[in-house]
Homo-oligomer: A and B are copies of this chain.
Amino acid sequence: MSRWQPGTRERLQDAALELFEHGYDNTTAAEIAARAGTAKSTFFRHFTDKREVLFDGTAEIAEIAVAAIATVPPETPTFGLLDAVLRAIVQVFDPKKRLWYGRRQTVIDHNPELRERELLKRQAQAEAITAALREQGRDGLAPDLVAALIGLSFHAVCTRWIEASDDQDVAALVAEVLTELRATVPTLK
């Protein structure tokens, strides 16, 4: 038998979110563990600190983006690349967790410590994406610019998904955001 109880990680995340909703600062890892029916030491086997518990999957998103960039032929127009990257990322979006992500974002937005961690994660994603674009042969300010577009459109897709209805097709949101962005770029003169 595994020493890991199935679902422990998810129970820790749910417990953390519920406690954070009643006050982030005073919530301890021990309390999160207790609410999830496990030990404090188990919490720290899963997460390095109480902030990390809300940021599962952010490294995976960077990996998916980097993998998607590697499969796009270098001569692909930027918006073709954006489309491929965003469509790859949103495949991990789980409709059953949409409301959970909305609650999570509200907690993050109200707590500077979590906001800082979120920005650090986003920055790590942007740096991985920038490096992948540079490897693909883009140079100068182009990798930073394209990475900024990916970040901006991913953020817009996430925000709209959280605010959408349960049956919202995420790929349609990607198309919607990219259409808007495509209409905006020519105004940069």
Contacts and interface: CB of A to CB of B under 8 A. Distances in A.
B123 A119 contact: yes
B189 A145 contact: no
Given A116-B116, A116-B117, A148-B152, A184 B123 contact: no
A27 B156 CA distance: 40
Q: Is the interface of A mostly helix, strand, loop or mixed?
A: helix
Interface string A173-189: 00001001101110111
Interface in A143-162: 144-146, 148-149, 151-153, 156
A83 to B, nearest CB: 12
A120 interface: yes
A47 interface: no
Nearest to A183: B140
Interface of A: 77-79, 112, 115-117, 119-120, 122-123, 140-142, 144-146, 148-149, 151-153, 156, 177, 180-181, 183-185, 187-189
Across chains A and B, which 10 residue pairs bring their CB atoms closest together, nearest first? A116-B116, A119-B119, A77-B189, A148-B148, A78-B188, A116-B120, A185-B188, A142-B184, A141-B184, A141-B180
